[in-house]
Amino acid sequence: MPLTASENTAVAADLLHRTSRRHIVRAVERRWPDKEIVLGPQHPSVTSYVCRVTVNGEDLIAKYSWLGLSLVSILRGVAPIGERSVVGVFRRKFNGLSTAGRLRTLGQDSRLPEHERQEVAELVRTAAWRLLRMAGAISTRRDLLVFGDLKPEHVHIDGPHLNFIDPAVQWAAGPQPDIAKLTGRAVLLAVGHPDRSAGSQIVQGVAATLARYLAALPEHERAGQLREIMVLWLMDTVSILSTCLSAPQGLLLTPHQQSLVERARTVAGFVDRASALLVGSSGCCWPGTRGCRRTGCMATSSASTVTARSSARRRRPSTATRSPSRCGRSSTNSTSGRR
């Protein structure tokens, strides 16, 4: 089944389908000019045009990428060209002038109930706002030239064979982006898995993999690297969730991607809670950051919290602690004993 046209798309989907196939045929003919070539049907994908190609009886997988952007972005008419890093993609999606409008209509073709769609859109908006504020803490070094964009969507399973279908080259500061994408996408596979016991095994495997990676680091680096991986993980999760929710009707989704749309409220709720924890539930800045002037922020209230607890320890019969909740508000719990 090819792409079909939708009244909500900025680019005609059938035109994109025909043009993608024409480019693939030309590339194959240049590579094998004297061979018999048969193009198979389109494979489900929201990122690139993927199909099977038979060359003289040998089955191959062809992938055509438009400007390095997802098919959803092309069809929706959102096509700025930028770097492919997790942070770069996230900023491109959620830090533009049209972001508010796109988030308001997020999931309009998903067939989710309207109240659920609106709830998901608000959760994504809130989480994206928090994550954008944390993006500045992610390393921007470009130490390593990496071949390929390593994530499950770029591994095509054909019987017993694995085909890596993303030959792109990108810069990286270290292994954190790959770890974040692989662990995050694996958890999404677990969320949508029809067998709950298999889903639990996937999550346990992710936790064990992450624990092994952190255990190999110097102790003083573990907290910072875990925080960076979590921010990248959440950014990537929000990006793929929004891509699947933005898919116009007629664009083929894989069973996993369709399952992700159906469980969008669960995933969006997780990202919302996790991003809140990363900013100390303040929605403002990193815990321990100095210089924030917003009342009740974790960064500015941390000193008074420590002071209150120290005073409480000196006054044994009476204790008082301040625990920040949302930015601008805090709660005080106290207990008093008799002398």
Exposed/middle/buried for residue 277 (C-beta within 10 Å: 0-12, 13-18, 19+): exposed
Phi, psi of 173 (to 5 degrees): -90, -15
Phi, psi of 67 (to 5 degrees): 60, 20
Distance CA 18, CA 25 (A): 11
Phi-psi map region of 281: left, alpha, beta (phi>0 left; psi -120 to 50 alpha): left
Q: Give yes or no for a contact between 96 and 76, defined as CB atoms under 8 angstroms apart.
A: no
User: Tens place of pLDDT for every residue, the chain, 339 residues?
Assistant: 344 444 456 677 788 889 999 999 999 999 999 899 999 998 888 878 888 899 999 888 888 888 777 888 888 777 675 566 788 889 888 987 778 888 999 999 999 999 999 999 999 999 999 999 998 878 766 666 666 666 666 777 777 777 777 666 666 667 888 889 889 989 998 988 888 899 999 999 999 999 999 999 999 999 989 999 999 999 999 999 999 999 888 788 888 889 999 999 999 999 999 999 998 744 444 443 433 444 334 333 333 333 333 344 444 444 333 334 334 333 334 343 444
Q: Give yes or no for a contact between 174 and 142, defined as CB atoms under 8 angstroms apart.
A: no
Q: For the stretch 55-93, what's the b/e string if a residue is b when 16 or more beta carbons lie within 10 angstroms of its beta carbon?
A: beeeebbbbbbbebbbbbbbbbebbeeeebbbbebbbbb
Q: What DSSP character marks residue 33?
A: T
* DSSP symbols for 71-99: HHHHHHT-------SHHHHHHHHHSSTTH
Residues pairing with 64 in the sheet: 49
Residue 82: the pLDDT is 59
Predicted TM-score (pTM) of the model is 0.70
Q: What DSSP character marks residue 66?
A: B
Identify which of 299, 296, 240, 314 has the alpha carbon closest to the alpha carbon of residue 271: 240
